[in-house]
């Protein structure tokens, strides 16, 4: 509530129900009492509370009894699980670790550590036997061809199939864990890690995923678990772990550079020429712009998720799937 001259005199807390009564006559007071001003929490606090509210509202208003997600030992799934527990409570969250032959030992260790911290149901399903079965089934068709992204995507799709089976059997909605940087560049697998019902962080760039993880470990706004995310999950280099010694930066520019380019291109409507003129490496800019243009077909098939920026993927973003801009 504000006075006639625009001075704020009353503000309720964000992301929770509250009622403030204020005499209408005081709206015209030149020096109103500001005792009814709830404090502003800051960007990371607002981001966390928005994510929590989004998950809670979507799950409860659509009457899902619980949620299930793949817990990889990486930063994205860790943040999604922490949000889910803050939103719903540990008893309604199930985490499934699905290691492959390329899963690092520290991923197992960190996933188990986090599940124990948050006291959620935690299961491990080894996908190596299923992966080998698929490769044997396709051996004749793939004879003479080296392994590539086909085999990487097979692993992601096995995981997606297992999570959807658990969803069907128990009625839990699958929370996907892809971030906005991945959605923008297509660094994700259709019918694999994109398979699910609600994409918690699809409008959060990777650099902000790291930032909000740091913030949540240092803060406990909803009275939940203290320090929920193991430090190593936040500090280790991101990797999809779909091939030996894989790092995200093998395929993408460093996230600090990538997200800065994406923010300018997607959210600020800057052209590639504008971004290059601002000092960014031309090759990196053209790589990122090309990936954004190529992967609209993936984004159109992604689960719904809460909108956090003025331009999320969905009705805010209109781009043709079929085009000659490549």
- The 3-state DSSP class for residue 176 equals strand
Quick one: pLDDT at residue 36? 63
Q: How far apart are CA 156 and CA 12, in angstroms?
A: 44
**How does residue 22 score in pLDDT terms, banded at 50, 70 and 90?**
low
DSSP 2: B
Kindly report, residue by residue over 50-87, the tens digit of the pLDDT.
999 999 999 999 999 999 999 999 999 999 999 999 99
Query: Residues with Cβ < 8 Å from 51, sequence gap 6 or more?
Result: 83, 87, 200, 201, 204, 212, 306, 308
Question: Would the pLDDT of 325 be above 80?
Answer: no
Question: Would the pLDDT of 211 be above 90?
Answer: yes
Instruction: Record the pTM.
Output: 0.91
Q: How far apart are CA 169 and CA 158, in angstroms?
A: 17
Mean pLDDT of all residues in 207-222:
96
**How does residue 254 score in pLDDT terms, banded at 50, 70 and 90?**
very high
- With residue 151 as reference, give the H or E element that holds it: helix 149-170
Kindly report, residue by residue over 31-50, the tens digit of the pLDDT.
555 666 666 678 999 999 99
Domains and CATH numbers, the chain: 1-40 (no CATH), 43-248 (3.40.50.620)
Question: Would the pLDDT of 153 be above 80?
Answer: yes
**Contact between residue 58 and residue 198 where contact means Cβ atoms under 8 Å apart:** yes
**How does residue 240 score in pLDDT terms, banded at 50, 70 and 90?**
confident
Quick one: pLDDT at residue 27? 58
Mean pLDDT of all residues in 113-124:
98
- The 3-state DSSP class for residue 278 equals coil
Mean pLDDT, the chain, rounded, equals 91
Quick one: pLDDT at residue 96? 98
Mean pLDDT of all residues in 13-37:
65
Q: Which of 38-42, 117-121, 157-161, 179-183 has the lowest mean pLDDT?
A: 38-42
């Amino acid at each position: 509530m504000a006075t006639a001259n625009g001075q704020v005199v009353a503000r309720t807390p964000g992301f929770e129900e509250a009622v403030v009564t204020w005499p209408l006559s005081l709206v015209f007071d030149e020096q109103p009492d500001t005792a009814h001003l709830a404090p502003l929490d800051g960007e990371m606090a607002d981001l966390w509370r928005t994510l929590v509210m989004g998950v809670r509202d979507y799950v409860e208003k659509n009457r899902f009894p619980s949620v299930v997600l793949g817990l990889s030992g990486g930063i994205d799934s860790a943040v999604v699980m922490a949000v889910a527990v803050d939103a719903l409570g540990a008893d309604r969250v199930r985490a499934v670790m699905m290691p492959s032959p390329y899963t690092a030992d520290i991923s197992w260790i960190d996933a188990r550590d986090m599940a124990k911290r948050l006291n959620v149901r935690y299961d491990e399903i080894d996908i190596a036997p299923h992966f080998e079965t698929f490769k044997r089934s396709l051996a004749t068709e793939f004879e003479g061809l080296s392994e590539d992204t086909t085999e990487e995507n097979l692993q992601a799709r096995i995981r997606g199939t297992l999570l959807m089976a658990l969803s069907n059997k128990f009625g839990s909605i699958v929370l996907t864990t892809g971030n906005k940087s991945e959605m923008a560049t297509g660094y994700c697998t259709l019918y694999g890690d994109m398979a699910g019902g609600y994409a918690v962080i699809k409008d959060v760039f990777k650099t902000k995923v790291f930032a909000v993880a740091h913030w949540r470990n240092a803060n406990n706004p909803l009275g939940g678990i203290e320090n929920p995310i193991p430090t190593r999950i936040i500090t280790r280099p991101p990797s999809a772990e779909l091939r030996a010694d894989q790092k995200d930066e093998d395929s993408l520019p460093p996230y600090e550079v990538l997200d800065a380019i994406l923010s300018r291109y997607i959210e600020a409507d800057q052209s590639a020429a504008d971004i290059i003129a601002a000092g960014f490496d031309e090759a990196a800019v053209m790589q990122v712009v090309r990936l954004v243009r190529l992967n609209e077909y993936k984004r159109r098939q992604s689960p719904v998720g809460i909108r956090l920026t003025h331009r999320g993927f969905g009705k805010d973003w209109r781009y043709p799937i079929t085009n000659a801009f490549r």
